[in-house]
Structure 1
Amino acid sequence: MSDSSPPRKSQLALDFKSATLYALRVVLHSNDTTELISALAQRMRDAGSFFENEPVVIDANLVEQAVDWAALIQALRDHNLHPVGVVALGANLDSAMACGLPSVDLANPAPRPTSAPVADKDVPVVAPPSSKEEKTVVPMAPAIPEVAPAAMVINRQLRSGQRIYARNTDLIVIGAVGQGAEIIADGNIHVYGPLRGKAMAGARGDTSARIFTTQLDPELVAIAGVYRVIETRLDPSLLNQPTIVQLDGDQLKITALGK
């Protein structure tokens, strides 16, 4: 039997390839449209341009009452945010999909491996050599099979408008992060140089993530979505000093290294 279908072209007009997308999750705690629009405006004022032009997924799992999706979608677009999906249940999911929002799965990612000090008994011990014997080494304990992804290392200065996202790992920047630059990591962030831009660690919800820098003077810092806009100069004990930013409950805590 002959095949009468036309021959395939070696190069088609489009192709499918994998892509990694970073999207904000907008979590609703109310269905009141006025309250939502007011809270959105406040958040965007606080964050400046940090979230502008970002894709967002609206999470309405905590809301049982009906949401005015059309008004909420328009409010997000008015702030240069781009709704790309929804997480919701029942009638709210149906009405959101009717407004053009596809249902998405925001299942929690696998937790990142945590590190722990090695027990003294597992540290290799070197016996002092005698004149008649070779140096001996006690064998190490078997290695842990799970290996965390290697950190992303950026060995240059980041200028205004530049953005770096380290997915599923830590981010190390050796150089200055200038005003208007943005650095994002699912894990920790280390900046060996001035941090003058915006930094978000634990971007996918890792509340144990931290931000380390040798010189702190940022526009915005955030851990797992909890952020602080630096509108006034920091305390002299922190400004341009080596510091750690971490979560303490639901508040950001900034402390000087070594204190």
Structure 2
Amino acid sequence: MGTRSDILEFKSATLYALRIVLYTSDTPALLQTLDDRIREAGAFYENEPVILDAQGLDQAPDWKALVAAMRKHHLHPIGVQTDPALQTSALKAGLPPLDASASRSAGPAGAPRDLPAPPPAADDPAPASQESPLALSASQTLVIRHPLRSGQRIYAKGGDLIVMAQVSQGAEVIADGHIHVYGPLRGKAMAGAQGRTDAMILTTQLDPELLAIAGVYRVVETQLPKTLHNQAARITLDGDTLRIQAL
């Protein structure tokens, strides 16, 4: 009996995965840092496939504990890149060896760099707990004319996002292209969500909780300098660094 391609077929695929670089085998420290980073980023990485990069380690952490913690945060570990001496213990935890050379990385806690996971979108001013899906073609721009309240999330898939009102604290605006906010930007703004490094974030009043472009993000924990705080600004990506410029 021959094979039937109309039932099942194997094909090659290119997968963009979040690469989390481990700099220590101290499992409690890794778990605490993971909790801190996810708390800062909210749903930024939700449902993202993950490759653990442990090439710099000569001792294995508790792989099973790491996998369990990541799944708790809705991350999905799919493999590990590590020294051959550590591969056996990783395999026992369900982490096969993978080549993460083409994936995007997350640096140490002081200089985070990660791949955002685009969440479901909400186009209407529905209650904060409600979201509705929205898909855009690559040439389209999504325009939002109403303020975004805490808990609301807008994702412009495949295009730019223009918000003609306030983005409140606790709200999230995400776009595969550029983000324009013609009003106070007080929530989280994530441009270039699928890795577009030339994406920009522009706003007429900058006071954000988090800024991100192509996975490189900055949590704004303290007030920005007076030359930037509540001023018109442009955010761009320069290598692995976010540049914030007054307009």
Return the TM-score normalized by structure 2: 0.64
Contact 1:86 1:93 in 2 (8 A): no
Structure 2 spans left out of the alignment, 5+ residues? 1-15, 104-136
Task: Flag the structure with larger Rg.
Answer: 1
Specify the SS of the correspondent of 2:31.
helix
1:230–1:33 Cα change, 3 Å: same
Q: CA deviation at 1:96?
A: 6.8
Distance 2:210 2:234 in 1: 14
Residue of structure 1 equivalent to 2:216: 226
Q: Is 1:204 aligned to 2:198, yes or no?
A: no
Residue of structure 2 equivalent to 1:69: 63
Q: Which amino acid aligns with 1:255?
A: Q
Of the candidates 28, 43, 51, which is equivalent to residue 51 of structure 1?
Answer: 43
Distance 1:94 1:164 in 2: 42
Structure 1 spans left out of the alignment, 5+ residues? 1-22, 109-146
Distance 2:87 2:50 in 1: 11
1:102–1:30 Cα change, 3 Å: same
Contact 1:85 1:102 in 2 (8 A): no
Contact 1:52 1:81 in 2 (8 A): no
1:33–1:26 Cα change, 3 Å: farther
Q: CA deviation at 1:74?
A: 2.4
1:76–1:62 Cα change, 3 Å: closer
Residue of structure 1 equivalent to 2:20: 27
Specify the SS of the correspondent of 2:30.
helix
Residue of structure 2 equivalent to 1:81: 73
* Residues 165-214 of structure 1 deviation map (CA, whole Å, 9 limit, x = unaligned): 12222111111111110011121111111111111111222222110011
Q: How does 1:228-243 map to 2 (within 5 A)?
A: 228-243=218-233
Of the candidates 166, 181, 184, which is equivalent to residue 176 of structure 1?
Answer: 166
User: Relative CO higher for 1 or 2, CA cutoff 8 Å, sep ≥ 6?
Assistant: 2
The count of residues paired between Structure 1 and Structure 2 equals: 194
* Residues 82-124 of structure 1 deviation map (CA, whole Å, 9 limit, x = unaligned): 13351446988997787568999x988xxxxxxxxxxxxxxxx
Of the candidates 176, 180, 203, which is equivalent to residue 186 of structure 1?
Answer: 176
Return the TM-score normalized by structure 1: 0.61
Q: Which amino acid aligns with 2:67?
A: I
Q: CA deviation at 1:56?
A: 3.0
Tell me how large the CA RMSD over aligned residues is.
3.5
Task: Extract structure 1 runs of 4+ deviating beyond 4 A.
Answer: 64-67, 87-104
